[in-house]
Amino acid sequence: MKTLLKLSCMFLFLLTLACNKNDDEPIVEPEVIVEEETLEVENSAPAAFELAVVSDNAEDVEPLPIFSWNASADPDGDAVVYDFYLNQGTTATQVYASNLTENSLEIIDRLALTEDYSWKVVAKDPEGATASSLERSFSTRSIRFNDSPETANAAFTEREFHSTVAFDNKMWVIGGQRASTVQLKDVWYSEDGSNWVEATGSAEFGQKYAHSSVVFNDKIWVIGGADENGQKKSDVWVSDNGESWQKVLGEAPFSGRMGHTSVVYDNKIWVIGGLNTDNVLMNDVWYSEDGETWKEITNNAKFNARALHSTVVYNNAMYLIGGQDENAKRKSDVFASTDGITWEVVTENALFTGRISHSSVVFDNKIWIIGGADESLNRKNDAWFSSDGKTWTEATSAAPFSNRARHTAVVFKNKAWVIGGVDEFNNIKNDVWSFE
């Protein structure tokens, strides 16, 4: 039996050896794969942090504040960015700026004056985990009339019935008259309201007053007005530098006029009302898409024919304010139009007294009217504002500048500026004031 077992084992050994010699491929032992276990670590949110400036319940905050907060550390060492929330009211729900890498923010778009605001900051990591600060509230300051002028005696001569625009990071004063017999054809500019440079003392458009000016297509445009002989013009001039002026039209299709207004709205220049060559007050409305081709959109707008009014563009509409009608009445009415054809009465009798030769600007997201002459030709130094053209609030009954009319106003570098005009003693001025 043992002999048989030995022969069987020897046979199996020889058989295995024979198989190995006949195989072409070597025997490969199977690879053993051992999977490593991966340990997942839960992401941690950024650490809690506190706001720094502006303080909670702060009052009289400047309209261009700088906000700051303590940095938030991330427990996992991840980079942290911040979303900054800011809006009017008692709850901060609107993202003002996102993915900030610094823990401070300087406001560039001026905040509204005399308003309540709320703010907060949310820190977040790359995985989307967040940590929010507590909310804070504050209120902005009211309007500030500077007690002294930027200059009491500008380099340009005193003037009234001039025009003013903001263009190329400068304010520009154009033409006007120094006295009833001395009309001007100069152009001046300033980068700060104090220092004025003469661009030209003899502009190609000649002596001109009670004209209008706008900025359109990166150029300054001067339209109409009266010349040294009192002749009312319908000419149109343009300049891209304030020094050299090109005549676009010697006579536009609309009648020559003075005491009219012009604005830029809906990618067009608009000319509204005024006193024509026959000394007839107008309530026509014209527009141009290029300054050369003019179309009359209505020759009889809903508002009374008038001159020495003001017009501004606000909330996607044109607003016409005050002026003198055909009965020599000084108006305190306000009309608005979105197309130049249909003019709706916003108010027939605003709280301010009826007036002529005032100025108007849009500032602090409100319409402002400044000064002018009332029914008794008393010159004013009051200032009123409105958020809808209907409800008006008196900001001051006596601004630091003297009572005046036939002045100009313009918004430039986050301030409203008042320039020149004639005061209550018939002194023609060349002072420059601002409020902010």
* CATH assignment of the domain containing 88: 2.60.40.10
pLDDT of residue 41: 75
**In degrees rounded to 5, what are phi and psi of residue 175?**
60, -150
| Domain membership of residue 112 as a residue range | 51-140
- Same domain (yes/no): 118, 200: no
Q: Show which of 140, 173, 192 is a domain's final residue.
A: 140
Same domain, 120 and 172: no
- Quote the number of domains for the chain: 2
Q: Within a domain: residue 303?
A: yes
Nearest-angstrom CA–CA distance, 296 and 275: 16
- Are 168 and 61 in a shared domain? no
386 in a domain, yes or no?
A: yes
Q: Is residue 285 situated within a structural domain?
A: yes
Q: Is 129 found in the same domain as 245? A: no
Q: What is the pLDDT of residue 12?
A: 37
pLDDT at 38: 55
Q: Based on the domain organization, do 134 and 170 belong to the same domain?
A: no
**What pLDDT, on a 0 to 100 scale, did the predictor assign at position 39?**
60
- Do 132 and 279 lie in one domain? The reply is no
Q: What is the pLDDT along the chain (436 residues), one digit of tens a residue?
A: 334 334 343 343 333 434 444 445 455 555 555 455 556 679 999 999 999 999 999 999 999 999 999 999 999 999 999 999 999 999 999 999 999 999 999 999 999 999 999 999 999 999 999 999 999 999 999 999 999 999 999 999 999 999 999 999 999 999 999 998 899 999 999 999 999 999 999 999 999 999 999 999 999 999 999 999 999 999 999 999 999 999 999 999 999 999 999 999 999 999 999 999 999 999 999 999 999 999 999 999 999 999 999 999 999 999 999 999 999 999 999 999 999 999 999 999 999 999 999 999 999 999 999 999 999 999 999 999 999 999 999 999 999 999 999 999 999 999 999 999 999 999 999 999 999 9
* 339-368 confidence digits (pLDDT tens): 999 999 999 999 999 999 999 999 999 999
Question: Whole-angstrom Cα distance, residue 261 to residue 246?
Answer: 21
DSSP state of 425: T
Q: Is 24 a member of any domain?
A: no
6 occurs within a structural domain = no
Q: Is residue 154 part of a domain?
A: no
Q: Tell me, yes or no, whether 194 lies in a domain.
A: yes
Q: Specify whether 233 is located in the same domain as 90.
A: no
CATH number at residue 411: 2.120.10.80
Radius of gyration of the chain (CA): 37
Residues 340, 237: one domain?
A: yes
> Do both 127 and 261 map to the same domain?
no
* Cβ contacts of 232 within 8 Å, gap of 6 or more: 224, 225, 226, 255, 256, 257, 258, 275, 276, 277
pLDDT in tens, 234-293: 999 999 999 999 999 999 999 999 999 999 999 999 999 999 999 999 999 999 999 999
The residue out of 107, 140, 173 marking a domain boundary is 140
**Residue 288 contacts residue 268 (beta carbons within 8 Å):** yes
Whether 133 and 169 share a structural domain: no
Q: Are residues 205 and 76 in the same domain?
A: no
Coil, strand, or helix at residue 414? coil
DSSP 8-state class, residue 209: B
Are 111 and 140 spatial neighbours (Cβ–Cβ below 8 Å)? Answer: yes
- Residues 131 and 243 both lie in one domain: no
2 domain-assigned = no
